[in-house]
Structure 1
Amino acid sequence: MLILIEVYKKQYKYLKIFFSLLILSVCIFLSIFSFLSVNQKPYSLFVEFDDAYGLKQGTPVTYKGVNIGVVNRISLSINKVVVLLTIRSSKTLIPYNSIFEANQIGLFNDIIISIKPQSNVNYSSKNIKVLGTDEMGFSYTLAKFLPHDSYIRGYKGISYDDLIRSTTRIAQRFDDPRFFSLFYLLLKNSLYISDEILILIYNSSIASQMIIHSVVSILS
C-alpha cells in the first residue's frame, strides 16, 4: 500500500511539473503574439473611385507588387464609389504621392488595387517628422506618408475589357468600306505625288547638267 502511495505521489509530482511548464509556455506564446500584434496594428485608408470596376470585399491591395492589405468595405453613392482599405501593419508606410489604381491581372481577370509611388522617398530620421500619436495608439511621422483614415483619389488602371472593346472598334473600322475607299484614295494620291517628285528630280538633274556643260564650254 505504501508503495502505491509513493508511486501516486511521484506521478502527481511529474504531472504538476508538466502542467506548470505547459502553462508557462502558453503564457510566453501569448506574450510574444500580443507584442507582435501591437507592433503590426492595422490602419485604414479611404479611396474614391468613379466606378467599382469589379472591386469587392476581400480584394487584395498591393504595394509595389507585395500584398499589404484587403478591401474591407465598399460604399456606393450617386457620383462615386468609396472603398475602405485595411492595411495590415502600421509599419507599412505609403508615400503621399502614390497612385491608387484598380487593375485586372491574370488569366481570370482578377481585380486588385495596386499602389505605386510616383517617386522614391528618402526615409531617414532627418527627413521624417513625428506628428504625434493617433487614437489607435501608434504614431505617424508623416510629412511624407499617408496617415490613418486618409482620403485618396483612385483611378482606373489596366482593364482587359477596355482592350477587347478597343480591338473590336478597330476591327469594325477595317470592315467599313469607306475606310478602304479612303485608304485607296490616299495610296493613289501618294503614288501620283511620288511620280511628280521623281519627274521634278529628273528634270532638275538634266537642267543642272546642261548648265555645267555650258559653263565648261564657255571657260574652254
Structure 2
Amino acid sequence: MRGINIGYVNKIQVKYNYILIKVNINVPSVLIPKNSLVETTQTGLLNDTVIDITPLKNITVQDIENINVFAKSCAKSLFVCHYDYIKGERGLNYDDLVRAATRISQRFDDPVLFNLVNVLLQNTIYISNEFIELTDIIVDTAILIYDYMYQIFFSQM
C-alpha cells in the first residue's frame, strides 16, 4: 500500500467472469479505505505481480478513532473489514507494453507513412529556404529605406 509491502496473496480462485484473490495483511495497524483503487501490476525484471492499493481520499484522525476491523460495527465504517471484498482492476503489465510497442513500430514501418514524412520534411526545407530569401529581401529593402531617409534628413542640414 503506497509502495509498502503489507501482506501476501494467500489464495487465488479463478471464476468464469472474475478472479477472486484472498490477501492476508501482515500489519494489523494498516487500514484500507473502501474507496481505494486496487490494481494488479507487474514489476521488476522477473515480472513479479503485485497488488497495488491506492487510497483515493484522505482519511482524517476522526475516521480512524475507535475502528476495529474485526468488529461487526466495522461494516458502517470507511474501511475494509475482516473478510470484506473490494473490487480491483487489471493494471499495467509487461505484455501490454510489448503489444503497444509492436503496434507503434508497425505504424512507423508503413511505407505510406514514411513517404508522407519524407514529403513533409522536403516541404519544410523548401519553405525555410523561401523564408530565408524573403528575409533577405526585407533586409535589403530596409537598408534602402534607411539610406534614403538618411540622405533626406541629413542633406537638409
Provide the residue aligned with 2:103 in structure 1. Answer: 169
Contact 1:75 1:81 survives alignment (8 Å): yes
Q: CA deviation at 1:94?
A: 0.9
Q: Residue type of the partner of 2:126?
A: Y
Unaligned runs of 5+ in 1: 1-61
Question: Is the alpha carbon distance of 1:181 and 1:219 closer, same or farther for their aligned partners in structure 2, counting shifts above 3 Å?
Answer: same
Question: Is the alpha carbon distance of 1:74 and 1:152 closer, same or farther for their aligned partners in structure 2, counting shifts above 3 Å?
Answer: same
Give 3-state SS (helix, strand or coil) of 2:51's partner.
Answer: strand
- Cα distance in 2 for partners of 1:201, 1:143 equals 71
Question: Is the alpha carbon distance of 1:151 and 1:193 closer, same or farther for their aligned partners in structure 2, counting shifts above 3 Å?
Answer: farther
Provide the residue aligned with 1:198 in structure 2. Answer: 132
Give 3-state SS (helix, strand or coil) of 1:216's partner.
Answer: helix
Provide the residue aligned with 2:4 in structure 1. Answer: 65
Provide the residue aligned with 1:182 in structure 2. Answer: 116
Q: Tell me which of 48, 51, 65 is aligned to 1:113.
A: 51
Q: CA deviation at 1:142?
A: 6.7
Larger Rg: 1
- Cα distance in 1 for partners of 2:92, 2:10 equals 18
CA distances 1:101-146 after superposition (whole Å, capped 9, x unpaired) = 1111233322221212346534x3x343557x77x54763974422
Contact 2:12 2:19 survives alignment (8 Å): no
C-alpha RMSD over aligned residues? 3.1
- Cα distance in 1 for partners of 2:64, 2:40 equals 30
Question: Is the alpha carbon distance of 1:214 and 1:97 closer, same or farther for their aligned partners in structure 2, counting shifts above 3 Å?
Answer: farther
Question: Is the alpha carbon distance of 1:165 and 1:145 closer, same or farther for their aligned partners in structure 2, counting shifts above 3 Å?
Answer: same
How many equivalent pairs are there?
A: 154
Contact 2:6 2:26 survives alignment (8 Å): no
Provide the residue aligned with 1:93 in structure 2. Answer: 31
Contact 1:65 1:114 survives alignment (8 Å): no
Give 3-state SS (helix, strand or coil) of 1:188's partner.
Answer: helix
Q: Residue type of the partner of 1:180?
A: F
- Cα distance in 2 for partners of 1:67, 1:155 equals 19
Contact 1:90 1:138 survives alignment (8 Å): no
Question: Is the alpha carbon distance of 1:69 and 1:92 closer, same or farther for their aligned partners in structure 2, counting shifts above 3 Å?
Answer: farther
What is the TM-score when the length of structure 1 is the normalising length?
0.57
Q: Residue type of the partner of 1:103?
A: T
Give 3-state SS (helix, strand or coil) of 1:152's partner.
Answer: coil
Provide the residue aligned with 1:104 in structure 2. Answer: 42
